[in-house]
C-alpha cells in the first residue's frame, strides 16, 4: 500500500507540473512526524491527489461511500488508503477509523465541508472540531485553488490549468474543560475553517469571508 501511494503521489506531481501550472507554498511548515490532521477546502475530486502531491508525507484520506459502489474502484481506493465514510459527518465507524490513524501518529486529511464547493467555502461539519479535540492532533490548514476547473475525472492527471496549494502554519485547539456543547463545537469548527479561509483569495472564502481577513497566516 505504501509503495502504491508513493508511486501515485510522485506521478501526480509529474502530471500537475507537466500538464498544468503547479505551485505549492509553505511545505516547510509541514510537521515531519506525529499525529497530523490536514484540513482543506474542497473544490473538486482532484483535491485528494493534489493534497497528497503537495505534502511530502504519507497522508490517509476518507471518501464518501458512494465512491466505493463499484468493486473495482473500491479496491483501488482502499489500496490507496482511502476509507469510506458518510459525508454528513455522523459516521461513527469513520470517526473511529480517523481517530485510530491519528493515535498511530499518522497524517489524515479531511475536507470538512463534506462536499465540493467550487464557488466558495460552505459551512463545515462539526466533526472536524470533534476529531481535533478528541485526538489532540496538530492541525495543518491547506488552501486549494484552481481545481474547480478540473470537472471530470479524466482531467485529474491532465488538469490543463493553474493549481495553487498554500499550506499554513500548524496549530492546535485550546484545551477546554467541561461539556462541549453545540455552541462550543461551532466556535471551534469556525476557528479551524477560518485558518483555511485566511489562506484563500477573498473570492474563495464563501461563508468564512467575513472573518478570515482577521486571521491571515
> Domains, the chain, ranges and CATH?
2-215 (3.40.1130)
Q: Sort strands 36-40 and 59-64 into parallel, antiparallel or unpaired.
A: unpaired
Q: How confident is the model over 175-196, as pLDDT tens digits? A: 887 777 889 999 999 999 999 9
Q: Which residues of 131-147 are buried (b: 16+ CB within 10 A; e: fewer)?
A: bbbebebbbbbbbbbbb
Overall pTM > 0.85: yes
Which of 35-49, 74-88, 154-168, 184-198 has the lowest average pLDDT?
74-88
How many other C-beta atoms are found inside a 10 Å radius of the C-beta of residue 89? 18
pLDDT at residue number 144: 98
So what's the pLDDT on residue 174?
Answer: 87
Residues ≥6 apart with Cβ < 8 Å to 3: none
**Mean pLDDT to the nearest integer, 74-89:** 72
- pLDDT exceeds 80 at position 43: yes
Confidence of residue 88 (pLDDT cuts 50, 70, 90): low
Q: Is the pLDDT of residue 81 over 80?
A: no
Region 34-63: what's the mean pLDDT? Answer: 94
For Cα atoms 60, 27, 33, give the angle at the middle one, nearest 5 degrees.
50
What does the alpha-carbon distance between residue 53 and residue 143 come to, in Å, rounded to a whole number? 14
The pLDDT assigned to 202 comes to 94
Asked if the model's pLDDT at residue 124 lies above 50, the reply is yes
Q: Which three cell numbers stand for residue 49?
A: 491527489
Residue 211 has pLDDT above 80, yes or no: no
pLDDT of residue 89: 53
Kindly state the percentage of the chain with pLDDT values over 90.
Answer: 63
Amino acid at each position: 500500500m505504501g509503495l502504491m501511494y508513493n508511486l501515485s503521489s510522485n506521478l501526480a506531481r509529474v502530471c500537475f507540473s507537466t500538464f498544468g501550472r503547479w505551485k505549492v507554498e509553505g511545505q516547510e511548515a509541514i510537521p515531519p512526524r506525529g499525529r497530523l490532521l490536514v484540513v482543506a477546502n474542497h473544490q473538486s475530486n482532484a483535491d485528494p491527489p493534489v493534497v497528497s502531491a503537495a505534502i511530502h508525507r504519507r497522508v490517509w484520506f476518507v471518501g464518501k461511500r458512494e465512491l466505493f459502489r463499484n468493486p473495482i474502484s473500491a479496491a483501488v481506493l482502499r489500496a490507496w488508503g482511502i476509507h469510506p465514510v458518510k459525508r454528513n459527518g455522523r459516521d461513527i465507524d469513520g470517526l473511529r477509523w480517523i481517530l485510530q490513524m491519528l493515535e498511530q501518529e499518522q497524517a489524515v486529511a479531511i475536507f470538512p465541508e463534506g462536499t465540493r464547493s467550487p464557488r466558495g467555502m460552505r459551512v463545515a461539519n462539526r466533526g472536524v472540531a470533534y476529531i481535533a479535540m478528541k485526538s489532540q492532533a496538530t492541525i495543518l490548514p491547506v488552501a486549494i485553488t484552481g481545481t474547480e476547473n478540473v470537472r471530470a475525472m479524466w482531467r485529474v492527471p491532465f488538469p490543463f490549468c493553474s493549481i495553487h496549494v498554500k499550506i499554513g502554519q500548524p496549530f492546535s485547539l485550546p484545551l477546554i474543560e467541561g461539556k462541549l456543547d453545540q455552541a462550543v463545537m461551532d466556535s471551534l469548527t469556525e476557528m479551524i475553517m477560518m485558518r483555511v479561509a485566511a489562506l484563500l483569495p477573498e473570492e474563495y472564502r464563501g461563508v468564512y469571508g467575513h472573518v478570515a481577513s482577521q486571521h491571515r497566516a
